[in-house]
Amino acid sequence: MTSTSNFKIAILGAGTVGGGVARILLEQSEALGGRAARTLELAGIVDLFPAKCAASHGIDRSLFCGDGDELTPAQAKAETDRLLADPEIDLVVETIGGSGDFIVGLTRSVLESGKHLVTANKALLAKHGQGLFKAAAENRKSIGFEAAVCGAIPIIKGIHECFTGDEIISISGIFNGTSNYIMSKMEAEGQDFATALAAAQEKGYAEADPSLDINGGDAGHKLTILLRMVFGLDLAFDDLEVAGIEAIDSDDVGFADEMHGTVKLICYGERRGDDVFAAVGPAIVKRSNLLSKIDGATNAVRLQNRYSDENVLIGQGAGSLETGSAIVSDIVFIARYGDAALRPPHRSSCKLRPLRELELPCNIVFETADMPGITGIVCTALGRQNINIDTVSHNRHMRDNALFAIATMPCTMAQVQAAVRSIQGEHPNVLLSEPRVMPILV
């Protein structure tokens, strides 16, 4: 359903992303109106620091609601309430961020006031998306969230529109640019984790508190959204197993290179029958896999499909104008097609299972006492669990310790854990630390 009337837009939060949205709407007004088949009008912006935001993004101060250089929280709420009560406002862009009660209540209010919602807030959708999509359906409104998963990469519309004639079997990728930048630095320049993290912060890729990036939480939010979309999983964010890169060291990077691979923080989901095996965590990606070549702060999403085989989408996962362009894309679609523009995630009978239950090749790093026959002891224990060995690395000797890695053929974590328990039981003084296990993507 289209209309010839102006389509009016309000923006809540004009920081990095919200300011980028405003800029694009103003700079590309005529072209965007042509694509939407109606004029897009930026009707108002609410931010606590309107003067600062206007100057930072080159936006006319008159587009910001309220008087003065700054607004109190009470004033910002009053201006927001006024916009939500305005029947001429068609769509609200939320770029405030967060996933607490305030932002959940605000976004629900947007939908209940009869307005479409567009957001880049992956934490909000991962934790509260099911309730918000229900509210959208009840009010016959759309939620646009292209920017919530990998920024400028059009993966949401790709799944909605481009792969509807296919069946997606698995999804994997690099969904967090900060962690990928850190791992790229560790591999290319031999930096340790702390040095690479400091470089990411200096470049502006990592926040002062980088926890969500390096502990896998940010990537987990995005994978949660895609698992719902692709496989119809009814899952909460806390259901997903998530690990980060904080414990990765130069030895892990070196062992990966020795087997012609590189360490990446990988999001993975694969459907087998009615089971979907999924997790976020570090993995060794073989050089034959295109994801191994994604360096720096770049994001990539790899789909393995039943009919069209492999498709990889690569692009920028963050940034003011990059993320802003994805938000504007949703605005254009909703302006043109209304509540038929974007479909909520479907539901299926599929169930989530931990990725560790799926048979995958893996790399196991052992720290042991440096003694004759140690490699044989470990290999024998693995063999007893029907684990086939692919390669064994060179031993790295450190005083009285030895460090070496064994790459296996596909097996489960349960098999690996059984082998480790066997070694600990039969040779209690051999393993000096818990072996580190990473899946291998070929």
Does residue 286 have an active-site annotation? no
Q: In whole angstroms, what separates CA 144 from the centre of its chain? A: 16
Instruction: List beta partners, residue 298.
Output: 316
For residue 241, give the DSSP letter: -
In single-letter form, the type of residue at position 350 comes to: C
At position 102, the amino acid (one-letter code) is: F
| Whether 199 contacts 300, CB under 8 Å | no
Q: Look at strands 401-408 and 396-398 and give their pairing.
A: antiparallel
Residues whose CB falls within 8 Å of the CB of residue 385, separated by 6 or more in sequence, listed in order: 411, 415, 416, 418, 419, 422
Q: Closest Cα to residue 409, out of 442, 374, 373?
A: 442
Cβ proximity of 144 and 117 under 8 Å: yes
Token pair for residue 91?
Answer: 């769509």
Question: How far, in Å, CA of 440 to CA of 292, rounded?
Answer: 11
**For residues 368 and 97, what is the distance between their CA atoms, to the nearest angstrom?**
46
Q: Active-site residue among 127, 141, 185, 222?
A: 222
Element holding 396 (H helix, E strand)? strand 396-398
Please provide the DSSP assignment of 37-90 as one string: TS-EEEEEEE-S-HHHHHHHHT--GGGB-SSSS---HHHHHHHHHHHHH-TTEE
| Strand locations in 175-316 (E) | 261-272, 275-286, 298-305, 309-316
Q: Which alpha helices (H) appear in 262-370, and where do they start and end?
A: 320-337
Active-site residues, by number, are: 222
